[in-house]
Structure 1
């Protein structure tokens, strides 16, 4: 049995499956409601039940008392609809609606993806979760007040662990630590989520998503989120790298393109090795985008990667007719040492 949930004072509604919490159902529908711990201990997700009734699987959660419950308040991370509902809660409409926080995290797993790329998986404390929009980033807090920024590569619904793609930069303080000294179980501190690079869900325009190097990380998160919420408008993924080994998760976009007819994938190598046996696109990735789409006026373009790629692409895409307000980007600036 499913129950229909409508958000008061908005045109948003979604369905919850039997036994599914309101927060989980909203996330599955692509709506972001406030939450933090998702265990009923922080109270961030509290809102009002305007119509209908809810139930808790294990009695009242710690962050709500009987008086609040009687007054129609509810913790939506734990509340299960017992009927159709009308609720009142502040939706997260854009990145400004999410307040960055400072949190600890443990390194749960380190995966070698390429000679100079590591995939880092972080686990938050048991009573903490990080609400974020697909494509945002976090800042690791280092000694001496230094920070290092890395994009989240997972989608918001898949928040059991945080995924980051770390490229080894010569002389890099944090990346050098990741490659040479970091071990699973290490404790880190970070602040986030940050940034305005995220999927605009209210658009119906076809999308071009372009990543350079580890700029694939936020593109991955955006695509996984789009697939999860059922976005079916055309998506053309471009991934630019030097050689074949630098397409460190190449199987993922290939699988997306094979499984979803509205997704196209074009990898582009700027310096393929002779041993690569490369027969695909070569050169600069932004030039391949314009070659394939000489008129960009009807697109939304998302791109992330190193500043030279971003700057060159901005000019090229503008020349190809892309409106400035339809270009969303995240420039991977190297931090000064």
Structure 2
């Protein structure tokens, strides 16, 4: 079959061991087809940068578009692994992905939103509250993200820091946006953006949400604004009365990076099963810091030599997420399918900078 013929064809994609199945057009990625069909494959960045969607190909043939070697190496590809966000089917394909859930994904929608409030949480983190159209029942899992669609079609993704039940009181979501100097979108957020501004978004996206069919204790690992979706998870856990043991490890360089430290401590006081360990990597003498120091993912390993009976939910800088994924599996016995992640890739990350 020529590449032109493959692009015009339709292929059957099945996922084991869940038995979920869907069809994919030859000109779309397998992940795009899964989202379109409401099948919850794991993913995060959608552009071949982070590796969250990597799974094993049991049979069939695919072709990959350009992607990061870090997300999928040549050796891994030769061993039969694929990135569903970058792979197009050339034949019917059978994949193995143990993170597929039986619950269908919520429908992805494009909708206008209004900036309801802006508040600086630190010198470089802005809390942006968005008002959603009341008539639009925007449904999502705590931990998922939305994408802003800019006028030229470019997109910027941000995790929602509010749990879905908040919609019952006021249709809206909260985002935590870090200023990246020179970044077109974040320069606007920290400069010209005003309340009542209308923006266009699409979502929900992502497979970073709590698996409620497990009773395993939970490790929540966040670096920087990776706390945003973790905050939504904590709100969800509290709202649902989930009694699983949970420990939040939140890492930053200096105390200001833990920009909602007081909020976390309030939740710890209300939730007996939640423990909080803040960790700083570059504390200065003037900070008067007496807490944990070093790399936040290492702090988890110091406290949990054996993670074989846990679930880990990690979000933040790719170096933190990638290191945790590799080291928790190799050194702490964490099963690969019990690590759920959302790596925050910047435009520079995506371009290989």
What TM-score, normalized to structure 2?
Answer: 0.68
Which residue number corresponds to residue 332 of structure 2? Answer: 320
Distance 1:121 1:192 in 2: 16
Hey, what's the Cα distance between the residues in 2 that align with 1:250 and 1:279? Answer: 15
The CA deviation at 1:96 is 4.2
Other structure's SS at 2:136 match = coil
- List runs of 5+ in structure 1 lacking aligned partners: 1-92
1:97 aligns with 2:69: no
- Of residues 206, 226, 239, the one that matches 1:228 is 239
For the pair 1:330 / 2:323, whether they are aligned, the reply is no
Note the residue ranges of structure 2 that are not aligned, 5 or more in a row. Answer: 1-100
The CA RMSD over aligned residues, in Å, is 1.3
Aligned mates of 1:305, 1:281 — CA distance in 2: 19
Tell me by how many angstroms 1:325 deviates: 0.6
Aligned-partner SS, 1:210:
strand
Corresponding residue number in structure 1 for 2:177: 166
Equivalent runs, 1:248-259 vs 2, <5 Å:
248-259=259-270
Using the alignment, how far apart are the partners of 2:286 and 2:221 within structure 1?
25
Among candidates 144, 148, 160, match of residue 152 of structure 1: 160
Contact 1:242 1:272 in 2 (8 A): yes
Residue correspondences, number: 245
Query: For the Cα contact (< 8 Å) 1:95–1:133, is it kept in 2?
Result: no
C-alpha separation in 2, matches of 1:184 and 1:322: 44
Gap change, CA 1:332 and 1:96, over 3 Å in 2: farther
Larger Rg: 1
Q: Secondary structure at the match of 2:212?
A: coil
User: Map of 1:263-274 to 2, 5 A cutoff?
Assistant: 263-274=274-285
Match of 2:301 in 1: 290
Distance 1:316 1:128 in 2: 42
> What is the TM-score when the length of structure 1 is the normalising length?
0.71
Contact 2:246–2:275 (Cα < 8 Å) also in 1: yes
**After the TM superposition, which residues 16-165 of structure 1 pair with which residues of structure 2 at under 5 Å, given as runs?**
96-159=104-167, 160-165=171-176
**Within 1, Cα distance between the matches of 2:255 and 2:105?**
39
Divergent runs of 4+, >3 A: 93-96
Structure 1 distance, partners of 2:266, 2:243, is 16
Corresponding residue SS for 1:302:
strand
Residue 129 of structure 1, CA deviation: 3.0
1:238 maps to 249
Per the alignment, in what secondary structure is the counterpart of residue 325 of structure 2? helix
State the alpha-carbon separation in 1 of the partners of residues 222 and 107 from structure 2: 27
CA contact (8 A) 1:95 1:196 kept: no
Residues in 2 aligned to 1:278 and 1:97: alpha-carbon distance in whole angstroms: 43
Residue aligning to 1:189: 200
User: CA contact under 8 A between 2:116 and 2:129: conserved in structure 1?
Assistant: yes
State the secondary structure of the residue aligned to 2:269: helix
Deviates more, 1:198-207 or 1:121-130: 121-130
Which of 208, 229, 236 in structure 2 is aligned with 1:218? 229
Answer yes or no: is the 8 Å Cα contact 1:295–1:320 preserved in 2: yes
Equivalent position SS for 1:143: coil
Is residue 107–residue 186 contact of structure 1 (8 Å, CA) maintained in 2?
yes
